[in-house]
Amino acid sequence: MKIVTYNINGLRPRVSQFGSLLKLLDSLDADIICLQETKLSRQDLTADLVVADGYECFFSCTRTSDKGRISYSGVATFCRVKSAFTSNEVALPIAAEEGFTGILDSSKGSRSREDKRTEKAGGLEEFSKEELLKIDSEGRCVITDHGHFVLFNIYGPRAVSDDMDRIQFKDTFFKMLQKRWNFLLRQGRRIFVVGDLNIAPAAIDSCNPGPDFDKNQFRRWFRNLLVENGGDFFDVFRAKHPERREAFTHWPQNTGAEEFNYGSRIDHILSGGVCFHEDGGQKCHNFVTCHVKECDIMSQFKRWRPGNSPRWKAGRSIKLEGSDHVPVYMSLVEIPDIVQHNTPSLSARYAPEVRGFQQTIVSMMMKRQVEKQIETYEDSSSFSEENITVGSCIENLKRSSYDCNTSGSPSEGSCFASGGSSSVTAHSKMTAFQTDRANSTPGKGIRKKARHSQSSQQLSLKSFFQKSSTSVVGHDRTGSAINDLAEMAKSDNTPIEPTMAEQESCCPEQSQLNDCISTQDEGDLNACCSSEADKSNVAFLEWQRIRQLMQNSIPLCKGHREQCVSRIVKKEGPNFGRRFYVCARAEGPASNPDSNCGYFNAEGRSWQLYQVFDDKAGILPALRSRVLWLLMVIDNRCKDKFM
């Protein structure tokens, strides 16, 4: 049997990287795969993220709504099995639990619905329900019971030295966890603890241990767990490789530390309990010695590999794909099968977010009521639209007739001479339609006609870009009247198509006026576009010059005389949002001249103003250039202050 632990730094990007969840799991080639930092909430769960053929998934997602903790952590355990529902394989757990406090509303094992209840786990009775819920609300643990052993998949909290709230949370988290472990060990259970604990236990496990490294409270807690210090657990990797150095599993993401293997070992596999042998209680027998064949780091999953471009030779612009952690595996031997058992109901295949929610009679009735209300609303809305459409059609017809009669042409003559009977027919049909509309109730056929009339009057994309002629008073109204009559005829399916000759015969001066206006507008438009293009080119060239000057003003690191890279302080405090400059090379040991030289330069106030003006594209180019030039002069005079 092979067990793997892997902090994947987001399940969704890893699935995208490998092409599918199944390919990701198969690449690890293990019977039990424990993933941390999935960064999924229950609302994000979909079948492509938690369901794969040949695997059963048990997960825990964050439930807190605290700032910065939503979809932040999360763990998932995938078990490779041959049968999806019942099996005697050790990899398929006989029970599963979300969290470790026992109070989350999750089913444990295959208990019946009547037996489900939220109760505190053994050893945690002294804590209140609120304290336990706070610890388990971040989705940092999932437990699977495999008969011969209980497996804890853990994502330990991270706490920086000056964040007292997170330090307290981390301390409480591990103290509660240890009480749960002690309770199970007293019952004679074997325990495996795997995951990213965010603790480098000894100086050999860190690239840069400081003078107070061993005094850290969490490192002391970790070492007290180990058998050599009177505890109950083995650090399986150190038990197999006690003297191996630079065996790291994590590297900072933003410093390129993987290039020089400048990291720490914070992903662990711990084993507690006796072996399977009858005389396992003797000192010469323990689980690691008797049943652990190998435990090692899967370095082939590192993001940076030999042959990649160095960080200072365009390597910074290449995004390294993968997690900032690598997996750790443990191979077990002589693990017997267990009795036939079913898949626990905590499996992801039974999750409502994946399987779907079961409808109740009440929900079905409510759905029908909503559908009836929507149908009634649509009928009433269509009736209102008919009134508006028909009214506007009649008003347009009346206005067109009036405008044509007052445009200077004979009242009964040329405007309708070419249209003739078609125009009269359209008018009579509309009048008859108005009479029928007033004397009848809304019917299905009328609604269809009204909708057709409304859709026929919708503007086309071509008409949107054509110039409007409403600015010309008197002469332009004649053309609009003819267009309105044509639209009316189309809506009533009357074949009337007024031609350009007909419009010219109606109002000959209209065509000449439109030609003059069109020619004048085109000239003005071309002149305006040319002026705007010239301004844009000038502004672009000026801005390019300013950017080049700013680029030349970036400080050079003292170790390599190379341009630095800028960083922004993201931590809350007095320096939040402030920009600073550091050496562009990858972080590494100080003895390596090719690694980061440690150069640091806090920028002056003027550089912050640069960024402000860089984002304000609406400022006039001339004003922007003068202000930026002044800021650069001030910054050059003050540069010695920050070097």
The answer to whether the CB of 407 falls within 8 A of the CB of 474 is yes
Query: Strands, DSSP E only, in 526-606?
Result: 565-568, 579-582, 600-602
The answer to whether the CB of 75 falls within 8 A of the CB of 142 is yes
Q: How far apart are CA 469 and CA 513, in angstroms?
A: 11
Q: Which two tokens stand for residue 625?
A: 């250039």
**Is 325 an active-site residue?**
yes
Query: Residue type at 472?
Result: V
Residues in the chain: 643
Neighbouring-strand partners of residue 4: 33, 329
Q: At 383, which helix (H) or strand (E)?
A: helix 361-405
Distances in Å between the alpha carbon of 458 and those of 380, 389, 461, 489, 533? 21, 11, 10, 15, 34
Give the long-range contacts of residues 113-122, CB within 8 A, separation 24 or more.
121/180, 121/183, 122/180, 122/183, 122/184, 122/187
For 400-428, b/e burial (b = at least 16 CB within 10 A) is: bbebbeebebeeeeebbebbeebbeebbe
HSE-up (13 A, CA, CB side) for residue 339: 2
Distances in Å between the alpha carbon of 595 and those of 10, 253, 263, 592? 29, 16, 14, 6
Phi then psi dihedrals of residue 330, to 5 deg: -140, 130
* Beta carbons within 8 Å of 27's beta carbon, 6+ residues apart: 18
Strand order in the sheet with 75-80: 55-60, 75-80, 32-36, 2-7, 328-332, 292-297
Phi then psi dihedrals of residue 598, to 5 deg: 85, 15
C-alpha angle 551-556-557 in degrees, rounded to nearest 5: 145
Residue-wise DSSP of 60-90: E------TT-TT---EEEEEE-S-SSEE--S
Q: How far apart are CA 269 and CA 292, in angstroms?
A: 11
Q: How far apart are CA 99 and CA 112, in angstroms?
A: 20
Q: Which class for 76: exposed (0-12), middle (13-18), buried (19 or more C-beta within 10 A)?
A: buried
Q: How far apart are CA 92 and CA 54, in angstroms?
A: 11
From 250, 291, 325, 427, active-site residue = 325
Q: Could you tell me the sign of the dihedral formed by the alpha carbons of 442, 446, 448, 449, in that order? A: negative
Residues with catalytic function? 325
